[in-house]
């Protein structure tokens, strides 16, 4: 054909394409370029130059101009504004007053404050960075073990990807053509379960080893009540998004718009400067461009994959394996765990889902369930060596806590995450219950 490599078998071309893509990504070509180049080459080989280039010239616009994707920039904006609105300090303050008294109380408070902040920020690393500044000094002041203080912040950051609004869940929904609203709702309970299991592990640790996390007492009920109003915008955003999706009074995009407006109003009221608003908008635009580039880049590759018939072939092969679906699922999850150690979560999902997802569905798994599990898996990788970006972020903000100590502190939270994934596999209802109410 045009490329002159003379492969008539689309399947073989597809296989070569996947191989080339992996190679390009490994040597460090940016994902958007790697995916779209391989997509173009593959389409040229299968269809010829003119149709292929026509498709490639069309996809960026046609795939980006969809209403469902318009929720992404708004969620990203909420995240960038939330930090500047001073919400983290207030959240942590409220949480420590309410739950500081339990063993490891400040660490437990950090978990719930990060979970709360996750509700306005979809970004794990940002959440970890913010709480490294807010919560770690307080914990150290009260004699907490630095490893625990650093570990809880790095781990707490990962909650952002499950608790709505989560950008990565929106991307999953778009790629597999699921309802964005359903995925957003589905992440809520698993995020909560993750937080509760973290809290349980901390309390256990602080009870066994009395000196790692002493309880902090002395707050009156008045103190506690006074701390609540500062957390209002967080609850407002959660309530807006969940009731909008559940009650149908607004689309996810409209709910995101209202949430962003609430957070912006709060930030301005707290004295956010025009320059800071501008910076937040610049950051939002940059991150939006990055995410959209990956989406259309991968969709060019996906179009090529579609013509090659590779996803169907992979599905047929998976189904031909005489293994229990759960064994296959666990194998897939372990593969993700390894991949996630070296790769950005969104990039990993975008690159693998086009092939893996149809097979998973053919095995009889629920698409929403799989989305949550895979995202949780990807997040666990944010705290595992060798990359464990969240740990590096915590260490970066607090250079006085060595990286080794952060990774030691994370160990128990890693175990907590493994337990969480086990629980989500054993009780899929935790994931599917809220979205099922939609129907």
Partner 1 sequence: MTSETPGESPGGSFGSFLLQADRTLTPFENLANFVAGAAVLGLMLLGVMQIVLRSVFNSPIVGYIDLVELSMAVLAFLGAAYCQRLGGHIRMELLLAHLRGRTLWIVESIGTIAALGIIAVIVWFGWDHFLRAYELGDTTIDAEFPVWPSKLLVPIAFAIWWGRLFIQLLGSLRLVLDPDAEHIGVVVPKDAAELAQEEIRETFGENQDDGR
Which 87-126 positions form the footprint of partner 1 (CB under 8 A)? Answer: 125-126
Assess 396 for contact with partner 1 (CB under 8 A). yes
Smallest distance from partner 1 to CB 323, Å: 30
Site mask, partner 1, residues 204-233, x = CB under 8 A? ------------------------------
Q: Which two tokens stand for residue 127?
A: 């959440």
Contact 115, 235 (CB under 8 A): no
Task: Give the integer Cα–Cα distance in Å for 62 and 297.
Answer: 12
Residue (318 or 394) nearer to partner 1, CB? 394
Contact 119, 149 (CB under 8 A): no
Contact 187, 150 (CB under 8 A): no
Peptide bond before 234: cis, by omega within 30 degrees of 0?
Answer: no
Alpha helices in 309-402 (DSSP H): 310-320, 325-342, 345-362, 367-380, 389-397
Residue (126 or 201) nearer to partner 1, CB? 126
Residues 344-383 that bind partner 1 (CB under 8 A): 344, 346-347
Q: Which residues contact 75 (CB under 8 A, 6 or more apart)?
A: 122, 165, 166, 167, 170, 256
Site mask, partner 1, residues 291-330, x = CB under 8 A? -xxx-x----------------------------------
Task: Give the integer Cα–Cα distance in Å for 194 and 204.
Answer: 15
Task: Give the integer Cα–Cα distance in Å for 104 and 147.
Answer: 13
Assess 77 for contact with partner 1 (CB under 8 A). yes
Identify which range of 57-65, 103-111, 208-216, 322-330 contacts partner 1 by CB under 8 A: 57-65
Smallest distance from partner 1 to CB 419, Å: 26
Task: Give the integer Cα–Cα distance in Å for 361 and 358.
Answer: 5
Assess 23 for contact with partner 1 (CB under 8 A). no
Peptide bond before 276: cis, by omega within 30 degrees of 0?
Answer: no
Assess 283 for contact with partner 1 (CB under 8 A). yes
Identify which range of 252-260, 307-315, 325-333, 365-373 contacts partner 1 by CB under 8 A: 252-260
Identify which range of 34-42, 171-179, 218-226, 358-366 contacts partner 1 by CB under 8 A: 34-42
Assess 65 for contact with partner 1 (CB under 8 A). yes
Assess 177 for contact with partner 1 (CB under 8 A). no
Smallest distance from partner 1 to CB 71, Å: 9
């Amino acid at each position: 054909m045009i490329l002159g490599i003379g492969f008539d078998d689309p399947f073989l071309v597809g296989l070569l394409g996947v191989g080339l893509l992996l190679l390009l990504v490994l040597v460090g070509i940016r994902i958007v370029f790697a995916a779209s180049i391989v997509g173009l080459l593959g389409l040229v080989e299968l269809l010829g130059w003119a149709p292929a280039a026509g498709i490639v010239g069309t996809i960026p616009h046609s795939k980006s101009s969809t209403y469902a994707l318009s929720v992404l920039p708004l969620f990203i904006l909420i995240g960038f504004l939330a930090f500047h609105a001073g919400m983290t300090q207030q959240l942590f303050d409220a949480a420590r007053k309410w739950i500081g008294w339990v063993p490891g109380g400040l660490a437990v408070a950090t978990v719930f404050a990060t979970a709360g902040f996750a509700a306005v920020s979809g970004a794990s690393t940002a959440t970890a960075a913010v709480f490294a500044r807010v919560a770690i000094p307080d914990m150290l002041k009260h004699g907490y073990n630095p490893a625990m203080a650093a570990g809880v912040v790095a781990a707490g950051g990962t909650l952002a990807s499950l608790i709505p609004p989560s950008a990565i869940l929106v991307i999953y929904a778009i790629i597999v053509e699921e309802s964005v609203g359903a995925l957003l709702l589905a992440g809520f309970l698993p995020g909560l379960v993750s937080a509760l299991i973290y809290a349980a592990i901390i309390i256990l640790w602080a009870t066994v080893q009395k000196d790692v996390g002493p309880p902090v007492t002395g707050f009156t009920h008045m103190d506690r009540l006074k701390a609540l109003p500062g957390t209002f915008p967080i609850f407002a955003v959660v309530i807006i998004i969940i009731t909008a999706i559940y009650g149908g009074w607004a689309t996810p995009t409209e709910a995101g718009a209202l949430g962003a407006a609430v957070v912006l109003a709060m930030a301005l009221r707290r004295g956010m400067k025009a320059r800071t608003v501008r910076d937040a908008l610049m950051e939002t635009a940059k991150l939006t461009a990055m995410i959209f580039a990956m989406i259309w880049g991968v969709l060019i590759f996906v179009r090529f994959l579609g013509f090659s018939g590779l996803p169907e072939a992979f599905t047929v092969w998976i189904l031909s394996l005489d293994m229990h679906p759960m064994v296959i699922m666990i194998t897939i999850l372990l593969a993700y765990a390894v991949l996630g150690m070296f790769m950005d979560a969104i990039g990993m999902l975008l690159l693998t889902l086009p092939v893996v997802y149809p097979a998973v569905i053919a095995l009889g798994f629920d698409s929403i369930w799989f989305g949550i599990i895979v995202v949780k898996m990807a997040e666990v990788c944010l705290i595992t060596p060798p990359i464990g970006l969240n740990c590096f972020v915590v260490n970066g903000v607090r250079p006085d806590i060595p990286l080794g100590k952060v990774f030691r502190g994370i160990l128990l939270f890693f175990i907590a995450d493994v337990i969480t994934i086990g629980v989500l596999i054993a009780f899929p209802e935790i994931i599917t219950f809220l979205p099922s109410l939609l129907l």
